[in-house]
Structure 1
Amino acid sequence: MELATAYATCRRINARHGRTFFLATRLLPARARPAAHALYGFARSVDELVDNPRDGSDPAAMLDACSRALDRVYARGKPLTDPVLLAFADTVGRYGLERELFDAFLHSMKLDLSVREYATFTELAEYTHGSAEVIGLQMLPVLGTVVPHHEAAPYAAALGEAFQLTNFLRDVGEDLERGRLYLPTEELAAYGVERQRLEWAWHTGGTDRGITRALAALVARNRAVYRRAKPGIPLLRKESRSCVRTALTLYEGILDEIVAADYNVLGGRVAVPRRRRFTVAGTAILTRLWT
């Protein structure tokens, strides 16, 4: 299979499933876009094995197969026929991405098969590291930096965490449908909210003062993580900054929409309106072309 075809497959996966991220990748230099799509394609494909397994498939066995696929990628031995793996392997080799970043990701995906909730943010940190922080670290060599890699790494990890926390807030109802709760139960309990109360709100579309107050506190915490990540943008190569700034603006914009909906994330999916997404991205594209 031709490498260009493999990368095109990953691009289609990104365009279909990761609208905000895909829009932001349009701001990357042409050399970096295929790698961004390949990394997204791999992560999305693994995530689908856990969240939407095919009839009769065993997610645990499929994740073990993914680990063996990583063995082949890093051994650079047996030819790869899967288009996502082919593009992914080329990206790994091209940017020298470390195996441990992907092992940590698979570990968090395996946690989804057995862990149904987390009591504290400290407990959640293990999952968030593998499911999100390592994504930022994977992207860092693709984006490029103007400082030594290790200086920019904490900010890249923080941005991945911030995106993931936003996902947890936006998708709490869908996650409950899958039997999972990522909002720490002790944080919720401080406002008198139990898991059963969230499930009631999801199934009825209702809410109450306790849920609203708990979500408001979690949104505030999420915004603090975005503030921690923002100083990392100037550490990136100049041509990559607009992409990351746009992704951050659009993703943090989901929090704005949650606030505008009075924190009723269980009454329907909250999203940044298409007009705003294209306005933010379009302005960034025009600015980049001008400069």
Structure 2
Amino acid sequence: MSSEKLILDGTRVAKSIKETLVERIDHLTARGILPCLATILVGDDPSSETYVRMKSSSCKRLGIDSRRIHLNKAITTEELIAAIQQLNADPQIHGILLQHPVPPHIDERAAFEAIQIDKDVDGVTMQGFAQNAFGTANFPSCTPAAILAILDYYQLPIEGKHAVIVGRSPILGKPVSLMLLNRNATVTICHSKTNNLPQIIGLADIVVAAVGKPSFIQGAWIKEGAIVLDAGYNAGNIGDVDYKACYIKASAITPVPAGIGPVTIAMLLKHTVFAAEKSKMLT
């Protein structure tokens, strides 16, 4: 067992990020600009409703305006895109978040692409992804940005480390892989077709679990002293790693809840404030 154990407290990291935003928000509001995040929810998925409500509450507590758009689940892709375009054209809206997932009949990628790049505060567009790959994104995907923020807050080394990412989604697995690569980690991306997954994970200095399966990553797979970042959230407040088993071998680990989740929301707020600041520069 490792001699030292770090519980990577996301609530603490999120608080630190939000504290840096207070003065920036005050500065904007003094100039007549109220940072505003528009959240779009399509349908009545209970988990999505909870996430949107949490984001709206976080905005309110920090002094950011939150505009919630709740659309019928029977809406068409074209109607959703039209709603997004209205928000693009509204100068009082600085950030747009389309809550994932949308109903299956909607072309989610087309809807994401409708979001104007300077309002893509969740980093979901292809242009935003490309900017992230080159290390120039103003708004990298929020969960990957949260993972990097946690590593930096706790001053955990990235350069030269072997990071294994389990998951390849375009808003989590892929962008966090690129962000770690840009920080000079050696990166391996694993997925549902990967052979010998336990052996590959066993080589990792940093493990990022983003597979969407409860308690999927086993403690026996983890190298002694590895850093484990659990980006999963499943029913019953269960992450993608077997927390108790992985805790034994890890040198640092994020809990679920109160790990990456709060920092993801903090990064969304940070991006919204930055978008508001950039909009002021353009006027």
TM-score computed with the length of structure 1 as normaliser: 0.30
User: Per residue, is there more strand in 1 or in 2?
Assistant: 2
User: Per residue, is there more helix in 1 or in 2?
Assistant: 1
TM-score computed with the length of structure 2 as normaliser: 0.31
